[in-house]
Structure 1
Amino acid sequence: MRFTLSLVLLLLFLCQCSSNDSNLIPQSCKEASNSSPNVSYDICVSTLEANISKKNPPTKLKDLVGISIQITKTNGTNIIANILKLLNNQTFSQHTKACLKDCSRIYKGSISTLNDAIVAFKSKDFGTANIKLSAALDSSVTCEDQFKLNKGEVSPLTKENKVYFQLNAISLAFVHKFNH
């Protein structure tokens, strides 16, 4: 009887632990979206769930920080590749092409900044990680603003800039939890 009771308690504990692990992403995204107006709960959950390893799922918020920054870096790299394709478009004005070149430079710098954020976070320098992530977040805004300098100019990167901003906002909201 005593063994059975111990076994039942152990199974309940194990179920609770695995349940907590499966709630990590929704719970972390809920807290992030509640603490930041720039974080969409739905985007946070769907992005993280689509990009986690099923074999080695994250178990702590610090794991999600690394995953979210890596997702953002990959997205930034994809944006740079897209910019290179757009630069071959002959229908764009010289101003648009100049803006695209600036955006490429901005995103390359942003990826470097995200690498710095990872290093700072891993060394528990949360203040620096926060600053670096904020700078990376501003990259998408700066890119988008380039196009507004010429009236009537439309950014071909608006959608990409919004996604990159959102991904950075998620990482920033997660890191912010370590500053308190």
Structure 2
Amino acid sequence: MNFFISFSISFSIISILEGFHLVSTETLIESSCKTFAQSDPNIDYGFCTSSMKGATAGGRATLPALGAISLRLVQDNLTDTRRHVREILNNSSMLSPYSRRCLHDCLELFSDAVSGVEDAARDYDAKRFDDANVKMSAVMDAPTTCEDGFKEGPAAVASPLSKRNRDAFELSAIALSIINVVRRGPG
């Protein structure tokens, strides 16, 4: 059975159970993350479940609510990473000119990405899922472009942002997966 049919059936059952409050947020997160991890090599089940469970803090959530939560996670991650880049730039006199230039490029990328995820969240809330999808796809490029900048120049250096970039990329992949499922609806 292909992924979309399988997930649509699972989503339909979960949606019905959600309506009767028979499925917990934890179950919803686990089943969603399992499906996302099976269909997208960019999503790790453990990362997905721990990120989403940590952000819901035991409250009740529907899949559309998890979409809003996932967008907030991306925004928080990118905002914190932008702050971290500023700290590195302000507190590291030992940076090479090449590393400094890469970090400035990343700072610009993350600033644009924060605006992009804010726009995507507004589109998501307004049920303009196609627009949210396009904006999140652009946001997802920022950490990859940042990371590539350190590797591809004439003086390639190790990125001090590798883990943060991986996390931002994966959180964006999770948000995109949820947006796409919510956009298709339960049936």
TM-score range (shorter-chain normalised) is 0.7 to 0.9
Alignment partner for residue 64 of structure 2, among 44, 62, 65? 62
Alignment pair present for 1:51 and 2:74: no
TM-score, length basis structure 1: 0.85
Q: Is the 8 A contact 2:36 2:174 kept in 1?
A: yes
Shift of residue 20, structure 1, vs aligned partner = 4.1
RMSD, aligned α-carbons: 1.9
Percent identity reads: 31
- The answer for unaligned runs of 5 or more in structure 1 is 1-12
Pairs within 5 Å for 1:13-162: 17-54=21-58, 56-58=59-61, 60-87=62-89, 88-148=91-151, 149-162=153-166
C-alpha separation between the residues in 2 aligned to 1:81 and 1:118? 21
Shift of residue 144, structure 1, vs aligned partner = 0.7
Q: Is the 8 A contact 1:35 1:173 kept in 2?
A: no
TM-score, length basis structure 2: 0.82
Larger radius of gyration: 1
Q: Is the 8 A contact 1:140 1:165 kept in 2?
A: yes
Shift of residue 34, structure 1, vs aligned partner = 2.2
Q: Is the 8 A contact 2:109 2:146 kept in 1?
A: yes
Following superposition, which runs of at least 4 residues in structure 1 exceed 6 angstroms of deviation?
none
Q: Which amino acid aligns with 2:175?
A: S
